Chain A
C-alpha cells in the first residue's frame, strides 16, 4: 500500500503568501476570542469547589440548578458528566460563601460541607445521590499554577529555540517557534471560542503539542539542509518544495497514527480525558498545517540561504553512505 505518489514537487512556496495570510487570519481570530471571551479556567486556576455525584436514577439538572440558586449561589454550573446519572457541580469560592446552607466554617476558610450539600441541594436532583469526588482549591494555589504554567511555556519556547539554533540556524529556530506558538495560540483560541474548560491537563496537552509539532519542523528543516547539500543547482524555493513534498507521506502517516491514539482517548477515555484529547486533536491537526505552511514560508521570508546550512566543517558527514 502506498498513499502518496507525487510525480512532481508541489509548489508550496509559490503560494506562500496566501498560506501566511490564512494563518494570520486564524491567529488573529484566536487572539480576538482569547481577549474578548477569555478562557474558561477550571477551579484549579480560579480556586473553588468541584463536586461529582452519582445518582440511582437520571438526574434532573434543572431542579438541581434551581436548588442551588435557592441556596444562594448566583451562577450555578451544573452539568451531566459522562452518563445521565452523573452530575458535576462547579462552585466558585464566592458562591460557597454566599450559601450558608451548604458550607461550613473551618478556621479562616469557609468550605463546602458535603453532608449539607447532599441533604440541601443534591437531593433535589433525584434519588439517592452519592458524592464520588470532591475537590477544593484555595485561592492562593490557583495564582501559582497560572504563573508556573506561563513559566513552563516560556522555558519550552526558549529551550527549543536554543536547541534548533544550535542544530540548524537561527532562521529555522525563529520560524519553528513562531509556527508552533501559533498552534498553541490556536488551541487556546478554540478553548476560548467554545468556552471549553481550561484545566491543568489541557495546559499539559498544549505544551506537549508544542514539543510534538516542533518534530515536524525538525523533519522538514533536516530535509531542507540535506537538499541544500545534494541539489546544488536548484533555487531555494525548489529546495523547500522538494523537502516538504518528500516528507509529506511521513507527515501525514505519523500525524494520522498519533491522532488515532488521541481519538481512541477521546472516545474511550471518558470525560476526565475529554478536553485533554480535544486539545491534542486541535494541536495535531494544526501542527501539520503550521509546519508546512507557516514554518517553511517564514524561513524563506527570513532569507535562508544554502550557506546558512551547508557549512564546510560539516561536509564530511554528508559522505555518501550508499
Chain B
C-alpha cells in the first residue's frame, strides 16, 4: 500500500531537477560589466554594436568574459569582465572610441553588474531572481499623470478644429470656446446650427454634439465621448511612458522599470542610481519638437561648402551623418502635434507615418507647404538645448491637419519615427507623488539580514524536527528544503521581483509549511498509538491529514490572494511569494515526503516499528 508507481517518482525527480536548474543562477555572484546604450533618441543600439565593441576591446587588448546584446525596450550591449580594474579600463576605452566628440556623446557607457552564471543557463532562460530596490539600492518614483489637463488640452485642440471646419464652409459662428469639459459653438439661428451640425459631426468624431437653444441664439455643445476619453487617457499614459523611457536611457541605468500602475500612474524604478537630484532632473526635463524648413538654396549650399553658416540658419547633422542647414524660423512645434502614428499608405502599401496637427498647426503648415512644394521640412527634437534631426522629408503637395511622411522606410523605422515625434513632449503633466531612495549599502544589508534570518530559522526547525520525529523528521526537513528550492526556482522563472518583505514571506512560508508535515507525523503517531500496524499507519496518516492540509492551505491562499489583489508596493512583494510558497508547499509536504517515506518503508513487508520518535500509549 505504501508504494508509488514509477511515474510518480519521475514527476518528483523531474520537478526537483528543474527546480535545481532554475535556482542555480542565484548562486552565481554578480560580476562587473560595462553597459553601452544609446544616448540619443535617434540612435539605436543593434546587434552590430556587439562586434564593434569586441573589436575595440581586442585592439586595446582588454580581456572580456562575454559580450551580450540585450534586445529590450532599450537595447544595450553588455561586456562582462573579471574585475573592477578591467571594468574601469574597458569603460574608458569604449567611451573614447564610441564617442569621438566628448561634448556630444552618442552612446552612454556605464558601469554595471551582471550575473556570472554560465551561458547555457542563460540560454534556457534560467536567470537569477530580480532584486527589488530595497535589496539593491536605487530610486523609485510614483508619478501621477494629470489626466484632466490631458483632456483639457485635447478639448482646446478640438475647439480649434471646429473653428477651422466652420470657416472652411463659410459658416459664421459667434464664438467657439472650450467650457469646462465641453466645446461650445455659438450660432445665430437654428438654420445655421442645423447646417453646422453635420459638418462638425463628420469632422470631430470624438465629440457627442447636441443643438441647445440659448436665449435667442443657439449653440452646439460637444461633450467628449467616453470611448474617446479612454483613448485619450491611454494615449497620454503611453506617450508619457515612452517619453520617460527615452529620458531614462540617458542615465545609463541598467534595467530601469517604467510601468503603468492603475489608470493614471506611472512607476519609475532606477536600480543603482544614487544621485536622485540628477535622476529627477532628467525625468522632469521636457524635450520639444520643432518643424522647420530646410535651407537648400544655392547660396546656402556654397556657404556650407565654405564652412560658414548663412544668417538665419542653423546647422544640424542628418541621421546619415550629412550636414543639413535649417532655418531658425519654426513652422510648428510639438504642442501643435496631436498625434503621430505609423501606418501604411492606402495606395502604395508603403510604410508611412501619419501626423495629425491641431487647427493652428494645420493653418500654418498649409500656408507654408503651399509656397514650398518640392522643398524639405525638417522635424527636430530638442533636448537639453541640443537638436536632433528625426526626419527631413520633401513636401510633395499642400498639407492639411492630417498628412503623412513616406519614403524608403521599413515598418519598424516608421514606428520608431512616430514614437520619436510623439516623445517630443509629455501628453499631460506629471507630478511625483511618491519617492523612495535606498542606498546600496542598505540594500546589501537587507539581503544579508533576510538571508540570515531564513537560514537560522530553517536550521532551528530542522534540528527540532529531526530530534522529535527522527527519520520522519528528516523526511519532513527534506520536503521543506525541496519546498524552498521549488519556491526560489518558481520566483526565478517568473522573474518576480524579490524584496525584503518577499524574503520575509519566504521565511514565514517555510515556518507555515512545516505545519503540513507536523500534521502528518502527529497523525501517524496517533494511528500507531491506537494500535494500527506500521504500514497502515503511514497510509492512514497521510490520507487523513491531506484533507486538513488542503483546507488550511486554501484559507491561507485566500488571504494571500486578496493581499495580492489589493496590496501595493511592499505588500505585493510579500503576497506574491506567500501565494507561490503555499502552492509549492502542498506539493512538497505531501507528494515529495510521501515519496521518500514510501521509498524507505514501502518494500518492507514485515515492518515492526517506525522511526518516528517515541510513541507513548496511555496505559
The complex places the Cα of A137 from the Cα of B437 at a distance, in Å, of: 12
The complex places the Cα of A159 from the Cα of B453 at a distance, in Å, of: 32
Q: Are A260 and B464 in contact (CB under 8 A)?
A: yes
Q: Which of A20-28, A31-39, A63-71, A144-152 contacts B (4 or more CB under 8 A)?
A: A144-152
Query: Could you give, for residues 527-567 of chain B, a 1 whenever the CB lies within 8 Å of some chain A CB and a 0 otherwise?
Result: 10000100010011001100110011011111111110111
Q: Are B445 and A270 in contact (CB under 8 A)?
A: yes
CB-CB < 8 A to B452: which residues of A? Answer: 268-269
The complex places the Cα of A273 from the Cα of B570 at a distance, in Å, of: 12
Nearest chain B CB to A154 CB, angstrom units = 9
Interface of A is mostly: helix
CB-CB < 8 A to A219: which residues of B? Answer: 519, 548, 552
CB-CB < 8 A to A215: which residues of B? Answer: 512, 515, 552, 555-556
Q: Are A265 and B441 in contact (CB under 8 A)?
A: no
Residue from the list A52, A204, A268 in contact with B575, Cβ < 8 A: A204
The complex places the Cα of A140 from the Cα of B569 at a distance, in Å, of: 15
Q: Are A254 and B518 in contact (CB under 8 A)?
A: yes
Q: Are A148 and B457 in contact (CB under 8 A)?
A: no
The answer to the question of B189 belonging to the interface, with a C-beta cut-off of 8 Å to chain A, is no
Nearest chain B CB to A306 CB, angstrom units = 19
The answer to the question of B136 belonging to the interface, with a C-beta cut-off of 8 Å to chain A, is no
Q: Are A152 and B501 in contact (CB under 8 A)?
A: no
Q: Are A160 and B571 in contact (CB under 8 A)?
A: no
A/B pair count, beta carbons within 8 Å = 243
For chain A residues 199-213, which have a beta carbon within 8 Å of chain B? 200-201, 203-204, 207-208, 210-212
Q: A132-B441, A269-B449, A322-B536 are in contact. Are A204 and B563 (CB under 8 A)?
A: yes
Nearest chain B CB to A205 CB, angstrom units = 8
CB-CB < 8 A to A106: which residues of B? Answer: 432
Smallest CB gap from A284: residue in B: B511
Q: A107-B431, A132-B441 are in contact. Are A264 and B460 (CB under 8 A)?
A: yes
The answer to the question of B434 belonging to the interface, with a C-beta cut-off of 8 Å to chain A, is yes
Interface of B is mostly: helix
- Number of chain B interface residues as a range: 35 or more
Residue from the list A130, A152, A226 in contact with B565, Cβ < 8 A: A152
Q: Are A254 and B514 in contact (CB under 8 A)?
A: yes
Nearest chain A CB to B156 CB, angstrom units = 21
Nearest chain B CB to A22 CB, angstrom units = 25
Nearest chain A CB to B593 CB, angstrom units = 15
Residue from the list A108, A135, A145 in contact with B568, Cβ < 8 A: A145
CB-CB < 8 A to A277: which residues of B? Answer: 504
The answer to the question of A302 belonging to the interface, with a C-beta cut-off of 8 Å to chain B, is no
The complex places the Cα of A214 from the Cα of B555 at a distance, in Å, of: 7
Query: Could you give, for residues 447-478 of chain B, a 1 whenever the CB lies within 8 Å of some chain A CB and a 0 otherwise?
Result: 00110111011101100110110000000000
Query: Could you give, for residues 138-164 of chain B, a 1 whenever the CB lies within 8 Å of some chain A CB and a 0 otherwise?
Result: 000010100000000000000000000
Nearest chain B CB to A131 CB, angstrom units = 8
The answer to the question of A18 belonging to the interface, with a C-beta cut-off of 8 Å to chain B, is no
Nearest chain B CB to A82 CB, angstrom units = 9
CB-CB < 8 A to A246: which residues of B? Answer: 526
The complex places the Cα of A207 from the Cα of B464 at a distance, in Å, of: 28
Query: Could you give, for residues 1-38 of chain A, a 1 whenever the CB lies within 8 Å of some chain B CB and a 0 otherwise?
Result: 11001010000000000000000000000000000000
Smallest CB gap from B536: residue in A: A322
CB-CB < 8 A to B514: which residues of A? Answer: 254, 257-258
The answer to the question of A138 belonging to the interface, with a C-beta cut-off of 8 Å to chain B, is yes
Q: Are B515 and A269 in contact (CB under 8 A)?
A: no
Query: Could you give, for residues 266-291 of chain A, a 1 whenever the CB lies within 8 Å of some chain B CB and a 0 otherwise?
Result: 01111011001100100000000000
The answer to the question of A301 belonging to the interface, with a C-beta cut-off of 8 Å to chain B, is no
The answer to the question of A156 belonging to the interface, with a C-beta cut-off of 8 Å to chain B, is yes
Q: A204-B570, A207-B562, A253-B468 are in contact. Are A260 and B457 (CB under 8 A)?
A: yes
Query: Could you give, for residues 296-315 of chain B, a 1 whenever the CB lies within 8 Å of some chain A CB and a 0 otherwise?
Result: 00000000000000000000
Q: Are B453 and A260 in contact (CB under 8 A)?
A: no
The answer to the question of A119 belonging to the interface, with a C-beta cut-off of 8 Å to chain B, is no
The complex places the Cα of A201 from the Cα of B570 at a distance, in Å, of: 7
Query: Could you give, for residues 106-142 of chain A, a 1 whenever the CB lies within 8 Å of some chain B CB and a 0 otherwise?
Result: 1111000011000000000000001111111110110
Q: A200-B570, A250-B518, A276-B504 are in contact. Are A134 and B437 (CB under 8 A)?
A: yes
The answer to the question of A222 belonging to the interface, with a C-beta cut-off of 8 Å to chain B, is yes
Q: Are B518 and A201 in contact (CB under 8 A)?
A: no
Q: Are A204 and B540 in contact (CB under 8 A)?
A: no
The answer to the question of A218 belonging to the interface, with a C-beta cut-off of 8 Å to chain B, is yes
The answer to the question of A261 belonging to the interface, with a C-beta cut-off of 8 Å to chain B, is yes
Smallest CB gap from A145: residue in B: B568
The complex places the Cα of A148 from the Cα of B568 at a distance, in Å, of: 9
Nearest chain A CB to B119 CB, angstrom units = 36
Residue from the list A7, A137, A201 in contact with B574, Cβ < 8 A: A201
CB-CB < 8 A to B142: which residues of A? Answer: 141
CB-CB < 8 A to B86: which residues of A? Answer: none
Residue from the list A140, A263, A273 in contact with B144, Cβ < 8 A: A140
The answer to the question of A96 belonging to the interface, with a C-beta cut-off of 8 Å to chain B, is no
The 10 lowest CB-CB distance pairs between A and B, nearest first, are A211-B559, A261-B511, A264-B457, A138-B433, A215-B552, A132-B439, A261-B457, A152-B566, A258-B511, A155-B562
